[in-house]
Chain A
């Protein structure tokens, strides 16, 4: 909210720099987000009176003007055709920044210097309205109306711009600060100054209001108070300058004197008022009632509104004339022809106004104040203040008396406060006396005290203070958070649970060591991409855009997005990983300590590799990445977590997003897969190179991780190594050959590894040669050659029986 420094000074007498004021307000919880000096734009511009105009001796079109600028006369060389004696004009003095250069195509600003024009010294420049950015006329200098102007006043003074405006972020709990008086109250508390409320001086006519109108409130829950006044014989016209200046300063566009005064009171006292054209109210009646479904209404902004059951309306004898607390209607608007007005100053139930404003999608200065909580007990003061100003500005006739429907007056709350509680919450040592004085500064008064127990009365403009803890906050705020000393109890209770092991972090560290770059991506995606999953995806009711209208069901599209963007920047060799969640609708999920019914969140790890396999080096050949790169990464990852019983199974049925897919199994649970992203999916991302991914369910992986590692004694007897190469049909998977070797070798075989595969001229075309390295070892003795030879014979025999494998010699 914008707050004007000049305006504030009407209510509290302070003399501190705007910067200091901003700091103090911020420290009191009223965060000053920016300070704007309105006079910056017109520094060094002054109003002058042209005393004499002489021709320039060296130029036909120029004149030399003698200008009175208050404290002295100066000479200004001027080229304008409309210059003449006795004009009041705006003179820019050296140092002034002229907003627009009318001789420059781009109209750039420039700084004035004292110059000599064709041999004659010029002390300044007489400006056009275009140059001053006050209008578009550049045909000549701006001539001001001479209504009591004195030479020497600054342009800022003339335009009412000697002001500083603060942008203050008011938190939703402080409706009392949505006004100049409210901020002034805080300033008076901060600087220990007296708050001066505006003085009322209202002269009522003899005509009684009672005969002029009738007000009925049908819904007293939603409208606990309705106050009205009638003002006759108003003259609707532009507001006086002082009023326009105040409104302009806080960013409100002046409209006419009546509307401007209601806005002024809103910004002064924080209470929204509304003015109706009295003569347009059928039977001069006001009825406050709730809307019926389907009622139609045109608001002041010219928009048609469909009303919903329960919205509070202000009506006349037959039709709605305003949506209560939100916006008035076009049918009772104040216009130039308005003669008589009915002023409304009411208090509406916050929840009701908020609901209406939300349903209509219409938030106004008034609705924002009502929904945060206006002061029910200020309506009379506010309406009288407005009536007084209208009278002052238009000489109108204020009818005698006012209507005030307020059957159940809202009383100030009374709240108990225990000083012990204050200190045990804040860690302070405050006694009752400073507490009482702190609260008194913001009109919270002590009514009773019994030792540490105190009873306070809370003014109704502070709806946020409802409990003891709210008072404690006020005490802390006024005492100053920075004055609360740091006291640590150092009461760390030592734990008994085993140390928390963050497997995610272990995986991250491992993968970074393996050369993968971690990415963090958006978990929102388009429905089309989310829908590629076989499970139900989660849809957003109110998305920002179509691209982000669902929760992701796979990390693959996220990673492909990153791949695309990097390829675009010529980074084509990528090793990426992300640990992130995917989300599904899942009716099998029940409400639990960490779940909500019907939704499943899975934490997954994705690895992605594209481009060349290994970091390029002049000494070696480059190979493109393939699925074995990622298979190896996953195998090593499992070894690190001591998961040695994993299996890879390849099915012919492809996943939606990948082909050549290998499923990762552990104890018969499938918890991930490795594959090559399908061409048609890559196409969606304009990627032309192969991308390989491994996608692993981390929640399941975690459940398998075994931290109870036990030492296995190192072998005491030597190892025997044998290499065997078999020629087999190409179609036989190596995994089957490995299984057969293990099975036929018995438990003296410690390991078997494939170290070469050969296809080519030296063997028949449908065959391949697979070479294995076998390691034998006994824990009890040194193995003899004969023993090993027997095992080898058996392996060869079984391999031959089972796979028709022949030994390659």
Chain B
């Protein structure tokens, strides 16, 4: 008897796997679970065995029945679900349910990366006003009144002594006024130039200024810092050069060029056939500047640098007209 039960169990296992549709399922039910099915027959056959054996055999048959009902129910559920799906005819090629997709302005993305690099090098971030005094924008940066260097930066004036800052450098003075060395900051911000608007210039742009003043800061270290920045930002294989330039608030002053990554230094339209791209201006803080902020120029040396975020973004993304950055055409913004 026990063997027969085992046999039936094995048969059930096999039959259940062969059920493909509701017809098979019904046949399965009729075969095992109906009143005239195999399991009913088993119950009937109990009478033929000894009374002592009956309880244990009966228990086995109960277990078998429960098992059979369970697999039947599971199979039924699967088949039902399958048929539901079939009747719905789901078209998975229909578009998904999307949301508006936001974006950060490319200038913000560039600035974020520049900030990240310098913050990792230990620079703090500082800020200052855009409406600025002549004193901070020019005088304390060693642009004396009536000095031709003032012509380098066409200025919007608010009054005789108040103007829209032409660079972020005035914040250098503000930071040094309230800090004793060491000072190590970057200063991102908006600056203004009174220039005709064209593909190459806009009435305003954004800069990141850097300043480090301490004992023993050298030009050599300035180079190292900026080379490290440029490699982190533009790629570690880049070539670079520093060439002399002039800014009233640094001495010596330099401009940093990197090899044009569009033509690999062979010369193209973007690098004006030179193979080089100018990316920033820098230099050692001029001792005259220290006089204005009360630093001892015998004790401290320092460096400063500044770069245009628009220029760097334009180079990086291959944008050839600065105005598109301020048009905010959504088709442009969504590319970033």
Contacts and interface: CB of A to CB of B under 8 A. Distances in A.
B108 A508 contact: yes
Interface in B168-202: 174, 177-178, 182, 184, 190, 192, 194-197
B interface, over-half SS: mixed
Given A426-B219, A566-B328, A566-B329, 18 more contacts: A31-B243, A172-B151, A481-B223, A493-B122, A493-B184, A500-B125, A508-B108, A515-B101, A517-B333, A523-B130, A539-B158, A540-B164, A541-B156, A562-B328, A571-B329, A573-B100, A593-B177, A595-B129
Contacts of A26: 243
B292 interface: no
Nearest to B126: A594
Interface in A241-297: none
Contacts of B148: 172, 350, 354, 368, 371-372
Contacts of B329: 565-566, 569, 571
A384 to B, nearest CB: 28
Contacts of A31: 243, 245, 255
Contacts of A368: 148
A492 B122 contact: yes
A721 interface: no
Contact of B220 (A28, A484, A541, A551): A484
A541 B99 contact: no
Interface stretch (A404-412, A438-446, A470-478, A635-643): A470-478
Contacts of B286: 469
Contact of B219 (A29, A427, A511): A427
Interface of A: 26-29, 31, 33-34, 171-174, 350-351, 354-355, 368, 371-372, 424-428, 467, 469-470, 472-473, 476-477, 481-482, 484-489, 491-493, 495, 500, 502, 505, 508, 511-524, 538-544, 548, 551, 562, 565-566, 569, 571, 573-576, 581, 583, 593-596, 599, 601, 614-615, 617-619
A220 B256 CA distance: 43
Nearest to B224: A486
Contact of B100 (A481, A488, A575, A581): A575
A27 B218 contact: no
B131 A488 contact: no
Given A512-B104, A519-B333, A583-B130, A428 B220 contact: yes
Interface string B100-139: 1111110110001000000001101101111111000000
A33 to B, nearest CB: 8
A173 B149 contact: yes
8 contacts: A424-B301, A473-B253, A488-B224, A493-B182, A515-B100, A518-B333, A540-B164, A583-B130
B220 A427 contact: yes
B241 A502 contact: no
Nearest to A470: B251
Contacts of A355: 146
A112 B253 CA distance: 50
Given A541-B157, A595-B129, A615 B99 contact: yes
Contact of A524 (B125, B203, B225): B203
Given A28-B244, A173-B246, A544-B203, A477 B218 contact: no
B224 A540 contact: no
A27 B129 contact: no
B221 A519 contact: no
Contact size class for B?
35 or more
B242 interface: yes
A27 B105 contact: no
A514 B102 contact: yes
Contact of A593 (B112, B174, B192, B255): B174
B102 A513 contact: yes
Contact of B102 (A540, A573, A575): A575
B284 to A, nearest CB: 6
Nearest to B102: A512
A596 B182 CA distance: 26
B216 interface: yes
A485 B244 CA distance: 16
A521 B122 CA distance: 31
A13 to B, nearest CB: 25
B86 interface: no
Given A424-B218, A520-B105, A174 B330 contact: no
B20 interface: no
B162 to A, nearest CB: 7
Interface stretch (B48-56, B59-67, B90-98): B90-98
Given A469-B286, A519-B333, A541-B158, A583 B131 contact: yes
A548 B146 contact: no
A551 B164 CA distance: 10
B254 interface: yes
B244 A481 contact: yes
A551 B131 contact: yes
B131 A485 contact: no
Contacts of B121: 492
A550 to B, nearest CB: 10
A476 B282 CA distance: 14
Select the residue from A368, A372, A428, A542 with max chain B CB neighbours within 10 A: A542
B326 interface: yes
